Chain A
Amino acid sequence: MTGFVLSRLARMPLIAFGVLTIIFAIFKAVPGDEAQMMAGATASQADIDLLRVRLGLDRPVLEQYATRMLGLLSGDLGYSSTFRGNPLPHILARLPATLALAASAILVTILVGIPAGVVAAARQGSAVDLAISFAVVALLAIPNFWLGLLLIFVLSVEWGLLPSFGFSGWASLAMPTAALSARLIALVARMTRGVVIEELAKDYVRTARAKGMGGGAVLTRHVLRNAMIPTVTVIGLQMGYLLGGSVVVERLFAWPGLGDLMVNAIGARDFTLVQAITVVFVLGFLAINLVVELLYAAINPRLRHG
């Protein structure tokens, strides 16, 4: 078990390195120049050339690549034109906000999505099932941007219940969490319902019932445990969506996280910043994958690694 975790951890830097290489290649292939963006719309060619030298953009591409990667190894991220210096402190300062939003969205997803799916499956075909299925379709169809706007309009502007933007206490988490988790809740509820229905038709359920076990106990002690594997997979996969979706939601709610910073960095061709945020995202994603695999093992002993 420990060996498994260690080997996965050892792989992380390699994968991060690979992703950075690909991103670097994309950045060099896409037209647009960080020096031009930094110099501003009124700059002369001489200004831009000066900045290109200063940012090292006049060097051969391979040399730029080598400089970046060697710099990263020694812990030097490089010069971010957005922050006019080292971006690391700014990224670290924003990381908690993005993590808090992602964690809260996942928590809400689990607390709402799984029970909703189980209830719908247990009462298959009933009015409750129908209502839940309808909600699932609705939540999948609504874009999170629009849902967010609607929430702001109703809960902040009209009713004055919640702060409309930024972070000013835990109440600020409510609307971004709702906007971010809506789609996830729907996906998880749908998946859970499907799997639970499937499991309920299996032999072991009949056996358990035959030996006199109550419906509720069968559901929680046998069915749910088996149904959790695909559900955990879905949640794990959707964490990627969560990082991407958080870009839109963070921007809408002026959330002080990394997502919006990333979009702006791409627009400004601030490769240093993009690279730094990418490292954070990639490591985060790999960590989530690792946790998902460990959860598999916890849920199903047959999946435990040597």
Chain B
Amino acid sequence: MLRRTALSLLSGAAIAPLAGWRDAIAQAAPGRTLTYGQSTRVTALDPAQGAFATYPGGYEVGYCMFDRLVDFDADLRIVPGLATRWEVAADVMSVRFTLRKGVTFHDGTAFDAAAVKFNVERLMDRERTPTNRPLWDVVAGVEVVDAETVVVRTKAPFSQILNSFAHGSGSIVSPASVARHGEKGVAQNPVGAGPFMLESFVPGQEVVLKAFPGYWGGRPATERLAFKFIAEAATRVAALRTGSVDIVDSVPVQLVAGLRREAGIDVIARPGLRPLGLAINLSAAPFDDVRVRQALNHAVPVRQIAERVFFGFAKASDSPLAFDTQGYKRAGEYEFSPDKAKALLAQAGWTPGAGGKLQKGGQPLKLRMLASEGLFPGDVSIAEICQRAFQQVGIEAEIRKVEGGAYWGELRRERKALDFDVAFFGFNPSNASGLYHLESLFKSNADDNGKLDVWNIGRYRNARVDELLARANATPDLAGQNALLGEVQKIVWDEAPYVWLHVNENVTAVRKGVTGVEVWPIVFTIPRRAGA
């Protein structure tokens, strides 16, 4: 301890004049600090212990200060990170990583196989890391082969293992820093091996990072990155227009047209990975009838919603997965046609009665819609458009709106307590894997009458889908995996356990001249390669 203090004092004294000089340069050339006005606050920076706390804010900082064994590129392809090579075993039960040599953490300690083992074991511990469990529960153990080789074993075939390691929670923390600051101290004193290191951190307000001189990948394009929390969209955009920030995320689509006209600002728009839709409760008639569900899909003017509600910054879905998700394959299209909807409903026995309202045996066709308020973009407006669309084909549709904090609980109830026929929902597969997405939403629940296992809200159950998903998990090669996922997408799309809607675009804006800002489809704006 004493020695460390003495050392840091010495080194501090040695570089102090230099640091002062560098600060002066930074002052003289303000372009060296890039400021990002974030829409979400950053409160904790530990990949374990609750994983960066906020999404996407904490993760965006995490991706700049930590490296992972493998990484995502801007298109969410897996690329080398702290591991230069990896081999997935034929049984998809283990992966062997060859680690990069000569890498050091920001605190000067060396990165090696023991550090990997330490980190993965932190993530495996459910008590210590209660979030992102679907990514880590499957890991059985880590074996250090030598200083530069580790083998990670899983309890079951798990072809998404690389996605877990590229996910933000797979960020590698310096074990020495955990020993120094304690398990609970990492969140405020994060030490990684990424291109930037922590300079200052005011939780919930501001994080400032500076370039890590010893980064294995070379010096970043900017000296400093400042992340400032600005909750209000109008304020974020104003801050960009005044030049006090260089990057802002989550630009409201209605402001984009105005920003595009400004000479000094560039707009970056990119579709997300979260398809929105209405999950149909398949438990009860008439929605257990596939014809009725398909009719609902034909009844809703999805393209109009994309164009009118989102000014074109949304695209009608053509698969249960979003367009940029790994394994996405186009599955089909439900043409907007009230006539087709009516014809399908007629086949199911629903015929127009008084005032065009559909009835069967004197009973009207009623639909109860559950909508969140402000949880998903445009949720209330879209629910109202859908209600009107359903009414136009003769369905009596009513909406119940629920505030965001209470909404998830409404969806997660036991089957007999479910209080809706359709419910607004969207899933963002944060590890970019289509397999993860399809499993979370369409794999059969262990008990259809109990609570949800993950997010199969409507109690969809198809043995063929379950089998294909299990096979995809045990298929090592990507092409083989994607073929299986393609089949799942087609089956699910046709069986319509959802009213499929659209995929929103995420909009980020930057000051002209700022380069290298990446907008990842998983709602992240990543400035780690940004420069000006």
| Residues of chain A at the chain B interface (Cβ within 8 Å) | 30-33, 36-48, 50-51, 54, 81-85, 90, 93-94, 149, 152-153, 156-157, 160, 163-166, 251-254, 256, 260-261, 264, 266-269
Mask of B410-451 contacts with A, CB within 8 angstroms, 1/0: 101000000000000001111000000000100000000001
9-residue interface stretch from B46-54, B80-88, B148-156, B459-467: B46-54
A51 engages B130 (CB within 8 Å): yes
Q: Contact check: which of B41, B187, B244, B455 meets A165 at CB < 8 Å?
A: B244
Contacts of B239 in A (CB 8 A): 164-165
A266 engages B43 (CB within 8 Å): no
Given A33-B409, A84-B46, A165-B244, check contact A54 B127 (CB 8 Å). Answer: yes
Task: Please tell me the number of chain B residues within 8 Å of chain A, measured between CB atoms.
Answer: 54
- A43 to B137 CA separation, bound complex (whole angstroms): 12
Q: Which residue of A lies closest to B135 (CB)?
A: A42
| Residues of chain B at the chain A interface (Cβ within 8 Å) | 37, 41, 43-44, 46, 49-50, 53, 55, 126-127, 130-134, 184, 187, 202-205, 228-232, 234-235, 238-239, 241-242, 244, 402-410, 412, 427-430, 440, 451-455
Q: Which residue of B lies closest to A31 (CB)?
A: B406
B235 engages A82 (CB within 8 Å): no
Given A84-B49, A84-B50, A156-B242, check contact A43 B131 (CB 8 Å). Answer: yes
A266 engages B405 (CB within 8 Å): yes
Q: Which residue of B lies closest to A47 (CB)?
A: B133
A44 engages B454 (CB within 8 Å): yes
- A30 to B410 CA separation, bound complex (whole angstroms): 12
- A85 to B50 CA separation, bound complex (whole angstroms): 11
Some 28 contacts from A to B, beta carbons below 8 A apart, are A30-B405, A32-B408, A32-B409, A39-B131, A40-B131, A40-B132, A41-B408, A41-B427, A42-B429, A44-B440, A44-B454, A44-B455, A45-B453, A46-B133, A47-B134, A54-B130, A84-B46, A84-B53, A93-B202, A94-B204, A149-B234, A164-B235, A165-B37, A165-B238, A165-B244, A251-B231, A254-B231, A269-B405
Q: Contact check: which of B130, B405, B408, B410 meets A47 at CB < 8 Å?
A: B130
Extra 8 A-B pairs, beta carbons < 8 Å, given A82-B53, A149-B234: A32-B407, A38-B50, A42-B134, A44-B134, A46-B453, A82-B43, A85-B44, A93-B202
Given A32-B405, A36-B408, A45-B453, check contact A254 B238 (CB 8 Å). Answer: no
Given A165-B244, A252-B232, check contact A30 B428 (CB 8 Å). Answer: no
Given A41-B408, A85-B187, check contact A165 B126 (CB 8 Å). Answer: no
- A50 to B187 CA separation, bound complex (whole angstroms): 20
- A51 to B455 CA separation, bound complex (whole angstroms): 17
- A8 to B239 CA separation, bound complex (whole angstroms): 45
B204 engages A90 (CB within 8 Å): yes
The winner among A41, A46, A156 for most chain B CB atoms within 10 A is A41
B44 engages A83 (CB within 8 Å): yes
A267 engages B229 (CB within 8 Å): no
A252 engages B235 (CB within 8 Å): yes
- A55 to B474 CA separation, bound complex (whole angstroms): 36
Q: Contact check: which of B133, B187, B408 meets A37 at CB < 8 Å?
A: B408
Shortest B366–chain A CB gap in Å is 24
Given A46-B133, A51-B130, A267-B404, check contact A164 B50 (CB 8 Å). Answer: no
Contacts of B131 in A (CB 8 A): 38-40, 43, 47, 51
Contacts of B184 in A (CB 8 A): 85
- A50 to B131 CA separation, bound complex (whole angstroms): 9
Contacts of A163 in B (CB 8 A): 244
- A126 to B428 CA separation, bound complex (whole angstroms): 64
B235 engages A253 (CB within 8 Å): yes
Shortest B322–chain A CB gap in Å is 14
Q: Contact check: which of B202, B228, B406 meets A254 at CB < 8 Å?
A: B228
Contacts of A165 in B (CB 8 A): 37, 228, 230, 235, 238-239, 244
B133 engages A43 (CB within 8 Å): yes
Shortest A178–chain B CB gap in Å is 15
The winner among B46, B408, B430 for most chain A CB atoms within 10 A is B408
- A152 to B230 CA separation, bound complex (whole angstroms): 14
Q: Which residue of A lies closest to B243 (CB)?
A: A160
B187 engages A84 (CB within 8 Å): yes
Shortest B461–chain A CB gap in Å is 17
Given A47-B130, A166-B228, A254-B230, check contact A42 B242 (CB 8 Å). Answer: no
B133 engages A50 (CB within 8 Å): yes
Contacts of B430 in A (CB 8 A): 42
Contacts of A40 in B (CB 8 A): 55, 131-132
Shortest B139–chain A CB gap in Å is 15
Shortest A160–chain B CB gap in Å is 6
- A48 to B49 CA separation, bound complex (whole angstroms): 14
- A38 to B430 CA separation, bound complex (whole angstroms): 15
- A167 to B408 CA separation, bound complex (whole angstroms): 35
Contacts of A94 in B (CB 8 A): 204
Shortest A261–chain B CB gap in Å is 7
Q: Contact check: which of A37, A83, A164, A264 meets B242 at CB < 8 Å?
A: A164
